Structures are given as C-alpha cells and as structure tokens.
Amino acid sequence: MEDSALMSKPRISARIAAIAESATLAVDAKAKALKAAGRPVIGFGAGEPDFPTPDYIVEAAAAATKVVANHRYSPTPGLPELRDAIVKKTKRDSNYDITADQVLVTNGGKQAVYQAFATIVDKDDEVILPSPYWTTYPECIKLAGGKSVEVFADESQNYLVTVEKLEKARTPKTKALLFCSPSNPTGSVYSPEQVKAIGEWALKNDIWIITDEIYEHLLYDGATAPSIPVLVPEMADKTIILNGVAKTYAMTGWRVGWMIGPKDVIKAATNLQSHLSSNVSNISQRAAITALTNDLSAVKKMGEAFDRRRKLIVKMLNEIPGIECPTPQGAFYVYPSVKGVLNKEIRGRRPSTSAELASLILEEAEVAVVPGEAFGPSGYVRLSYATSDEDIIEGVTRIKNLLSEAK
C-alpha cells in the first residue's frame, strides 16, 4: 500500500510542469533538424541577427581568455567596468542618468526578464501584458506566482494598446505592466506621445512598468523609442529596464543582458542571482564592455540590411491573397494576419488555426514560421527577416505558391 502511494507522487513539480515550451525555439529546432536531414528548409523562426559578432568584439574576448583574473569568480552584479559602461551607454542612447548600483548584469536578457518579475511580483498579483507578446513573458509571470492579464490589439491598431484598453484591464490587484517597444513579435513601435501617456497612466495608478528595450537600436522610418523614465521622470522609482547586447551587436550566444532599476529592487534581484547563477561569464562580460564602449557603426550597418529586407518581405507578403501585413517600424519581425486563408482547403487539408497553417507550411512548402498562438490569439504568424534576401525571396515565394491553392 505504501509503495503504491509513493509511486503516485509526480516526478516533475507542478510549478515546472506548467511551463509551456518556447514555441519560437521549438519551431527553430524543428527547422534545423529538417535541414540537418537534408531538407531545403527555410527558417523564419529565429529571433537573432544572421550576422557574425563584429571582429573587434570577438578579438577582445579572445584576449580576455588569457587574463587569469577572468578565470575566477567575479562580483554577482557584474564587472565594475561593465556596469560603468552600461551607465554611460544608457546616458548616451537614452539620455537617462543612472548609477552603477542600479545595474545588474544577467545571463542574457531572458534572465533579466525572469528576475524582474520574480523580484516584484507576489502570489496573485496581476501583470498587464499587451498582446501579441513575446512567448517568455507569461511563463515568467506564472513562475513568480502572478497572473497575466492580456490586453489584445489587432492589426487594425498596428498591434499597439491604448491607455483606455489598459485602464479597462486594471484592477486593485494590478502590480505591473510589461511594456516592449519596439515589439517582439510585431515590430510595432509606440510614438513618444503614446509612451508618455502610458507612463503617466502607470504613475497615476501606482503601477510598476517593466520595459524591455532590447530592440532599441533597430528602428526604421524615423521611429524613436524613448525610455519611459526619461519622458515621465517620476516613474524612475517604479520602472525596471531590461536590455542586453544580443540584438544590437549580434551577440545572442554570448548571454549578456542587464536590468536597471531602483536600488532596492536591484539589491534584491542581485541576492536572487547570487543563489541562482552568480556572475555572468567574465569572457562574455569583457566582450560586452568592448561592444558598449565603441560606436554604433556595426549596428547601423546591420540596420541598413534589416531595413531593406523589411521592405522586401512586407511587399511580398501583402501580394498573397488573404494575408494582411502591417509595416513594422522596429526589430526584425513581421506579423501578418493570416485570417483570410484559414478554413480554406489547401492540399486536402483545411487549417482552422494559425498553428495548423504553420504546420502545413512547414510540411508542404518547407518553410518555418511561428504561429500566433505562441504570442497571443490565433490568426497570425511571425516571420523574422534576420535572414538573407535570397532566403526571403525563396521562402515567401514558396508560401505564396502554396497559399494560392487555397479554395
């Protein structure tokens, strides 16, 4: 009797078992596996630049491997030189004045996201999550014991939520708002007026803002991405900024991010990180120092290529009947509505959701896209244009040829 009672205990904790798989990484893995098996798959799934990390950054890291101090533990919140570089970079790029003790260096932006929610969200706190959202946010909120309250804005609103919509979602349990501009997955960018209005709404209602600025340098058509505490200085005490080197300097694999916030929050998050992972790799930190203390010419060059590809992919997608693709002003994603092709017959199948359509596109056209279900409601797909012009032309042409059979 006792043995069977012991056997019935779950092997995986309910908390961890409840975490949804990262849909973006899953699509990317499936595409790479098919490619490795010799299939001519074109992947639009990955959220990373297709450029190598600039040489001068790689060379700084190589030199750092020879310095014995970099082989040892270093302070949990980050190398002092890197925290200072982040202070200067934040002033240079955002015109926001901070001090080094407001900075915590993390293993990539993802750890900063996790720790921000873990540090300020209590059990049953509500976090307003504008939708479409990046797939990791709701999982981090759930792990912190909080509850995501999704506020959806569709393609007719360019995927941008309004203060009126946020106010409707607010309750006495609202603790924080997650803000991301430029947005992953949509590439939409809030205007300075919209950013200020959202900041003032949060201030008036005593709501924290966790703002993800990882795509701050990938902007097009004259768009800007001002930082909330710059436009609403009174929000500085209730804003946590998340950032990193991954998207700006093509350093996704180096795993260096950071969080900026009030000193008490950073102190508490540093305590958490001291038990979780302690310091970020010193070699990666040294590379990040070099990235941040040099100019932005490398990102400018990448940005020009992204801008060209953005125009190309939007034009091609909008030529496909049933697809509506707004023009993004930031990041390196497009987020077309595919509602016009759902529930139509394509090669003997009738996809009724964007997840079913994405599977069909991968199997029949050998093109990987991420379904909207990963980021909110069905009816959309995300494509990253951080890939070659040739792959964009070939991949979107394959999608067009397949979907033109819809009847």
Q: pLDDT digits over 181-207, tens only? A: 999 999 999 999 999 999 999 999 999
Q: Tell me, what's the pLDDT at 47?
A: 82
Question: What's the pLDDT score for residue 23?
Answer: 76
Alpha carbons 54 and 35: distance in angstroms, whole number: 27
CATH for the 57-293 domain, from 3.40.50.450, 1.10.357.10, 3.40.50.300, 3.40.640.10? 3.40.640.10
**What single DSSP character describes residue 53?**
P
* pLDDT at 3 exceeding the cut of 80: no
- Could you give the CA distance from residue 322 to residue 242 in angstroms, rounded to a whole number? 37
Dihedral (Cα; 370, 178, 110, 106), 10-degree rounding = 160
For range 161-169, the mean pLDDT = 98
> Is it the case that residue 227 has pLDDT exceeding 60?
yes
Q: 21-69: per-residue pLDDT in tens?
A: 887 777 878 888 888 999 999 999 878 899 999 999 999 999 999 999 9
Which of 1-15, 223-237, 275-289 shows the lowest per-residue confidence on average (mean pLDDT)? 1-15
Q: What is the pLDDT of residue 25?
A: 77
The CATH architecture of the domain made up of 2-52+298-403 is: Alpha-Beta Complex (3.90)
CB atoms within 10 A of CB 162: 16
Mean model confidence pLDDT for the chain = 95
Domain extents in the chain: 2-52+298-403, 57-293
What is the pLDDT, as a whole number, of residue 26?
78
| Average pLDDT over every residue of 238-265 | 97
pLDDT of 4 reads 57
pLDDT value, residue 27: 80
Indicate the angle between helix axes 297-318 and 389-403, nearest 10 degrees. Answer: 20
Instruction: Locate 214 and state its tokens.
Output: 């990882």
Domains 2-52+298-403 and 57-293 share a fold: no
* Model confidence band, residue 2 (pLDDT cutoffs 50, 70, 90): low
Q: How far apart are CA 178 and CA 211, in angstroms?
A: 6
Supply the pLDDT for residue 69. Answer: 98
The two structure tokens encoding residue 328: 């993004």
Q: Specify the pLDDT at position 81.
A: 98
For residues 356-373, average pLDDT: 94
Element (H, E) at 291: helix 282-293
In this prediction, residues 161-176 reach a mean pLDDT of 98
Alpha-carbon gap, residue 241 to 214, rounded angstroms: 9
Per-residue confidence (pLDDT) for residue 5, from 0 to 100: 55
Average pLDDT over residues 361-384: 95
CA 271 to chain centre: 25
